[in-house]
A and B are shown apart, each in its own frame.
Chain A
Amino acid sequence: MRPGRLRENYIGFQTIVIKEVGRVLRIWIQTLVPPAITMTLYFIIFGSLIGSRVGQLGGFSYMAYIAPGLIMMSVITSSYTNVVSSFFGAKFGRHIEELLVSPLPNYMIVLGYVAGGVVRGLLVGILVTVIALFFTRLHMVHPFVTLSVVILTAVVFSLGGLINAVFAKKFDDVTIIPTFVLTPLTYLGGVFYSINMLPVVWQHIARANPILYMVNAFRYGILGVSDIGIGTAYVIILFFIIGLFSFSLYLLHNGVGLRS
């Protein structure tokens, strides 16, 4: 590779990130406000109203127990939605061609969009955390675990959003996966309960859900309690990152959905 190419690639990556973050901030009413409203409602209804009758879970108030799950849920949805809608929009409006004709390598295109998704995920995560602090006290027992898990999870779902966008042919295709796959898996991923509350058979089934590991690892970071082993969680998250990243590179390399 020619010297200087790395720097040029980095500039290209930076340009995508600037554009993506600019987009998130420009349309903040669509990107940042909705999760804040939804999560406030969750805290009021589940945390305060219902939670006060549930009592303690894992040694914490129900409100404190579900807070990490709700933060994670909004991070997952936001990072996924960001990349799927932005990348599909670029495909639909054809301005993805601006990137396709440029010498920017595919991995930089993927990284650029993923970085945009992670930034949106983290912004929303911070917002929801701030809202949570109005309802309960959170300590963050293991800061490193908390931060690494939330960032890596945002990476996983940004990659997922990108792959969804590559295959999407119309706007409806952008909402199918979030509605039929992501939301159910998140609800079943231990956001609202500990899997120890489930019958044994269902506990086994629940363990097949990757989101369970991400939510629990994040909860471990904040509260110090988890249904599953943290090491397993990291292994699963990294496995998904490597798998999805390779798959997106494969798709872009062959121009699936992008080049005829």
Chain B
Amino acid sequence: MPHSVTACYAWRSVKVAIFPQPAMQALSLHALTKTYKNGVQALKGISLEVQPGEFIALLGPNGAGKTTAIGIVTSLVNKTGGQVTVFGHDIDTDIEAAKSCIGLVPQEINFNQFEQVGDIVVNQGGFYGLPRRLARERAEKYLRQLSLWDKRHDMSRMLSGGMKRRLMIARALVHEPQLLILDEPTAGVDIEVRRSMWDFLKKINREGITIILTTHYLEEAENLCQRVAIIDHGEIIVQGRTRDLLEKLHSEVFILNLREPLRELRPLDGYAITQVDDTTLEVEVNKSQNVNTLFDMLSKNNIQVLSMRNKVNRLEELFVRLVKGKG
């Protein structure tokens, strides 16, 4: 049965009926390499596939190669080797079609600081071929959604850091791309704005936009993304569903706050337990064990637990282990 594929064009989506073919990836990187002129090997052959509609995080420490990879996909960086296709358009042969599918929110501010907020978005629409009236409508739509409409006549340099990030999101959406790539969009953004940015991204992802996001905040990846790829020293060291990756953790460390100071800690069968201070314990719970037995034992020993939390974010733990493990 023929199914329909939405081809990305700059200002309207055209439904084209085609015959069954291998599912088209939103983004596919194959053996991508990059060596900068100064000899730095920023990417050592990464491969990644992103399905349409996915929300995927690219995690990695500073200098891992995230921005380089994004730069290649968005044609800000020349690749050294490998292949990139965006919704089936190879960037070597069909760069313009590939570009019209993508909206980019770069890591660093790159709009004209002396241009007005509204003009920045409208003009970007123009570069993508949107007739001016449509560009204005879209600019209004996205500036409103990102609470920047009141600022439309302000010089962009007058915006706060968080507003500048949101302006770049509005600018990236003006041509309604199918693939939105955000390079650390929440860096330097306060918690409240970060949460509303997350809600916004979740909303547009539900509406069908594929999203790729890089971040250092693992909480962000755990919260937003069905899938993560961890990249380090120019290589993807692990990728998969966020949930599956978390299951790879064999144990978790919990911190217990006690009601009363504990004078002497007797060993509990099978649990690695350490006393941090009078009223704080750290317990490691393996996958084979469970928390109920732990609490039974604690009660038997007359230890009353007031509250409990994870020692670290679990994804962070995984991340640290993987990155360290590589050494």
**Given the interface contacts A97-B76, A255-B78, A259-B77, does A103 sit within 8 Å of B128 by beta carbon?**
yes
Q: Which of A4, A104, A254 contacts B127 (CB 8 A)?
A: A104
Q: Which of B9, B74, B78, B130 contacts A101 (CB 8 A)?
A: B74
Surface stretch bound by A, among B18-26, B104-112, B303-311? B104-112
Q: Which of B75, B78, B124, B130 contacts A98 (CB 8 A)?
A: B124
Residue of A nearest to B123 (CB): A15
**Given the interface contacts A101-B74, A105-B96, A259-B76, does A12 sit within 8 Å of B126 by beta carbon?**
yes
Contact indicator B112/A101 (Cβ below 8 Å): no
Contact indicator A2/B113 (Cβ below 8 Å): no
**Given the interface contacts A93-B113, A255-B78, A259-B78, does A101 sit within 8 Å of B104 by beta carbon?**
yes
Instruction: Determine chain A's interface SS by DSSP, over half rule.
Output: helix
Residues of A near B74 (CB, < 8 A) are 101
CA distance A12 to B130 in the complex (A): 8
Q: Is A5 an interface residue (CB 8 A)?
A: yes
**Given the interface contacts A4-B9, A260-B77, does A94 sit within 8 Å of B128 by beta carbon?**
no
Contact indicator B75/A8 (Cβ below 8 Å): no
CA distance A94 to B168 in the complex (A): 13
What is the minimal beta-carbon distance from A6 to any residue of chain B, in angstroms? 10
Q: Which of A16, A90, A254 contacts B112 (CB 8 A)?
A: A90
Residues of B near A2 (CB, < 8 A) are 9, 97
CA distance A11 to B128 in the complex (A): 8
Residues of B near A9 (CB, < 8 A) are 129
Q: Which of B36, B100, B104, B127 contacts A99 (CB 8 A)?
A: B127
CA distance A95 to B99 in the complex (A): 17
Q: Is A14 an interface residue (CB 8 A)?
A: yes
Residues of B near A139 (CB, < 8 A) are none
What is the minimal beta-carbon distance from A188 to any residue of chain B, in angstroms? 37
Q: Is A102 an interface residue (CB 8 A)?
A: yes
Give per-residue flags for A18-40: 1 if the beta carbon is below 8 A from chain B beta carbons, else 0: 11000000000000000000000
Q: Is A151 an interface residue (CB 8 A)?
A: no
Contact indicator A103/B129 (Cβ below 8 Å): yes
Instruction: Determine chain B's interface SS by DSSP, over half rule.
Output: loop
Contact indicator A98/B76 (Cβ below 8 Å): no
Give per-residue flags for A188-216: 1 if the beta carbon is below 8 A from chain B beta carbons, else 0: 00000000000000000000000000000
CA distance A260 to B10 in the complex (A): 26
Residue of B nearest to A254 (CB): B78
What is the minimal beta-carbon distance from A172 to any residue of chain B, in angstroms? 21
Residue of B nearest to A7 (CB): B129
Interface residues on B, range: 35 or more
What is the minimal beta-carbon distance from A167 to any residue of chain B, in angstroms? 15
Residues of B near A100 (CB, < 8 A) are 75-76
CA distance A254 to B75 in the complex (A): 11
Residue of B nearest to A9 (CB): B129
Residues of A near B126 (CB, < 8 A) are 11-12, 14-15, 18
CA distance A204 to B95 in the complex (A): 49
What is the minimal beta-carbon distance from B55 to any residue of chain A, in angstroms? 21
CA distance A97 to B76 in the complex (A): 7
Contact indicator A98/B127 (Cβ below 8 Å): yes
Residues of A near B10 (CB, < 8 A) are 8, 103
CA distance A94 to B95 in the complex (A): 21
Contact indicator B9/A11 (Cβ below 8 Å): no
A residues 87-117 in Cβ contact with B at 8 Å: 90, 93-95, 97-105
> Which 6 pairs, one residue from A and one from B, show the smallest C-beta to C-beta distance?
A8-B129, A15-B126, A102-B127, A94-B110, A103-B96, A103-B99
16 pairs of residues in contact across A and B, judged by CB atoms under 8 Å = A8-B130, A11-B129, A11-B131, A11-B132, A12-B126, A15-B127, A16-B127, A18-B126, A93-B110, A93-B112, A94-B108, A98-B111, A103-B96, A105-B96, A259-B78, A260-B36
